[in-house]
Structure formats: C-alpha cells, structure tokens
Amino acid sequence: MRTNEQVNYTTHRPERHQMDATTDEPRRIKHNRAKCLVCGDTIESKSRHDYVTCTCGNISVDGGRAYLARMATDLQKFEELSEYES
C-alpha cells in the first residue's frame, strides 16, 4: 500500500531522443534539459552524473550530454526542451 511518503517516480527515456532515425547513430546532445509545468522551473543536466531536480520536486533530469534520463512524479507535467547538435 502506498503512503504519502513514497514518491512514485517514473524513469523516462524517450526512444526518439536516443537515436537518429536516418543514420542509426546516437545523436549528440547539446542541452539536456526539461521544464516542469508545475513550478515552471527549467532544469538542465550539464554532465553525466549531474542529477538536477526542480524546485517542487516533480521532475529530475540526469545524464548530461551522454544520455537523457528523466524522472517525474507526473510525466504529463513536464516539457522536453533538449537540443541536439545538428
């Protein structure tokens, strides 16, 4: 049974951000960031082990320029803002 102390985090790694569909090569991440639609924070992970959480705790980003990892209590309330090298 869930209690209020337990946070049900979901790990989110969108497939389309992992690989470039045309080359099958991993795309180079320029900015690994996302916006929390609950508190309005835009957070960015700047290195592989830079785990950043927004002010209200709804979302976290991790992975820096190595990979995209998103954790959220409510995935409907985050906006993907990552950018890639072209």
Residues lying near Zn ion in the complex (CB under 5 A) are found at 36, 38-39, 54, 56, 58
Q: Which is nearer to Zn ion, 51 or 66 (CB)?
A: 51
Instruction: Give least dist CB 75 to Zn ion, A.
Output: 13
**What is the closest distance, in whole angstroms, from the C-beta atom of residue 46 to Zn ion in the complex?**
18
Q: What is the rounded distance in angstroms from the CA atom of residue 68 to the CA atom of residue 7?
A: 21
- Dmax over CA atoms of the chain, in Å, equals 47
Name the residue with the smallest CB distance to Zn ion.
36
CA angle 54/68/47 to nearest 5° reads: 75
